[in-house]
Each structure stands twice: as structure tokens, then as C-alpha cells.
Amino acid sequence: MKISIATWNVNSVRAHLSTVEQFLAAKQPDVLCLQEIKVTNELFPLELFEAHGYVHHALHGQKAYHGVAIFSKAALPLEKVTRKHWCDIDQARHVYCTLPGGIELHNFYVPAGGDKPDAEINEKFRHKLDFMTEVSAWFKRRKRRKNRFVLVGDLNVAPLETDVWNHKQLLRVVSHTPIEVAHMDTWYASHDWVDAVRHFIPADENVYSWWSYRARDWELADKGRRLDHVWVTPALAPNLRGAEVFKPARGYQPASDHAPVIIELETE
């Protein structure tokens, strides 16, 4: 069976209900992973998702900040739902579960890191680096050849030169600094992950999933970054069937500054 998995930083689900609905009507992914939902579990607007056929859900919400969620259609029940905290900080940044076929799906929202890329003076940046270090070590301990893991989310790092609109200009800007990229490389190596998007789109081709609200015409300026990712473990890499950044959703109103990333996967 082939399934589609979408990941999207929706930047407040209640503020963008019509935007979410437009996307669901357009693409109808089998599994939808959201970040930055900015709402507690009990106040989450489940009705909209259920109306579109997403009868299974795994919520890890938080009032006003952060928060992640996974939704799936009737044929794809979510089992073993786990909500995890990192760095001994009570923030809703990771939820994972098991899909049919023994696929373990992880949804992450990595700390943005603040404005200054200096861990000595910026606690938010230190938290971001510590978060990635801790997650990398956890996956390394769990590394097994047969693991069937999918990792999605707003990882808040654009690692390649072609993941940003101007490599040299952004080397000192949080999300593309060498130290962040090095931490992501360590995470990527922790389970020999395969970048599902770059599996289909060559590394020398520019790809973005985020465009700032500050641009008057974000599409014309095209000053983007690829902050949203989908990785799979080597055991699942042969099952990849497609990947895309669904850029039209960035133009929906009201807009999230992120566009959804969607992959297709054969589950056998």
C-alpha cells in the first residue's frame, strides 16, 4: 500500500483553520503531521480534521507555544503514541507513534534558536544545540538495521547551500550557521538517515519550505530556506516513491510562513 505523509508548521492551528482546510481539500495526505499548533490538547479543533476523514490523532499540545500533532485516516490507526520532552524542559516538541506495517513516525519541532548564533550569550541558541545533541544520542542508542522509522518536522536548520537563498549571506544567521549544520549532520548520521526530499531533488537544486512574512512579495523575492524535513531510515529508503514541497499552500490566506512537505512511501 502506498501512503502519503505531509509535514507542516502551521503557525497556530486555530488561526489558520481555513488555510488547513484548503490544504486538506487540495492534497488529502493519508497522514498529516503539524508543528507549532499553539494550543492545548483539550482545546484542539478536532472537528475540522474529523470532517476530512482524519479519525485518528496524536496530540502533544501546549498553550500559546510550540505543540505537535499527528493525524491519519481510518485505514491507518496510530498505535503506541508517545509524547517526549527533551533537555528536562517541559515543551511540546516531539510526539511519535507506530503506523501499520511497523513504521515508527516521529514528529519534531526543533527550537528556533533566537536571533544571535552564540550559545554563550543566547540561551535559546544553546537550547537548540542541546536539543539536537540529545536527540542524536537517543537515536544512536536505538539504531538497528531493520528499524523502519520516518522522521518529519520543522527542524529549523537549512543544512545545504542550496537550502537557502544566499549561502554566504546566511552563514551568520540562525538556521544556517556552521555549528547548527554540524549538529544536524550528527543527528543525520545517528541512524544513517536518508533525506527523502533530496532523494528525489538533486543537492545542487535550490529547494525551500519557508519564506519570511517580512517580504512584501514572498514569491517574487523567493528568499527562502528549507527548514522542514522528512527523513527515513535505510530500511525504508527503497520504499520512497516521491517527495515535494507544496509551495501553493504558502500563498493561502491567512498564511503560514511554511509550506507543507509531502512524501509518498510504499508500506508493503
What's the Cα-to-Cα distance from 247 to each of 88, 182, 228, 255, rounded to whole Å? 36, 28, 12, 12
Helix, strand or coil, per DSSP, at residue 31? strand
Q: In this structure, what are the phi and psi dihedrals at residue 169, rounded to the nearest 5 degrees?
A: -70, -25
Polymer length in residues for the chain: 268
Please say whether the beta carbons of 211 and 169 come within 8 A. Answer: no
| pLDDT surpasses 90 at 268 | no
pLDDT of residue 220: 97
Whole-angstrom distance, CA of residue 103 vs CA of residue 222: 35
Closest CA to 70 of 14, 149, 15, 152: 152
pLDDT digit string, tens, across residues 150-159: 999 999 999 9
Closest CA to 222 of 259, 195, 254: 259
pLDDT digit string, tens, across residues 89-128: 999 999 999 999 999 999 999 999 999 999 999 999 999 9
Domain containing residue 167: 2-266
Whole-angstrom distance, CA of residue 102 vs CA of residue 26: 28
pLDDT of residue 193: 98
DSSP state of 164: B
DSSP states of 80-126 as a string?
EEEE--BTTB----EEEEEETTTEEEEEEE-----S---TTT-HHHH
The total domain count for the chain is 1
Query: What pTM, to 2 d.p., does this model score?
Result: 0.98
* Residue 108, domain CATH: 3.60.10.10
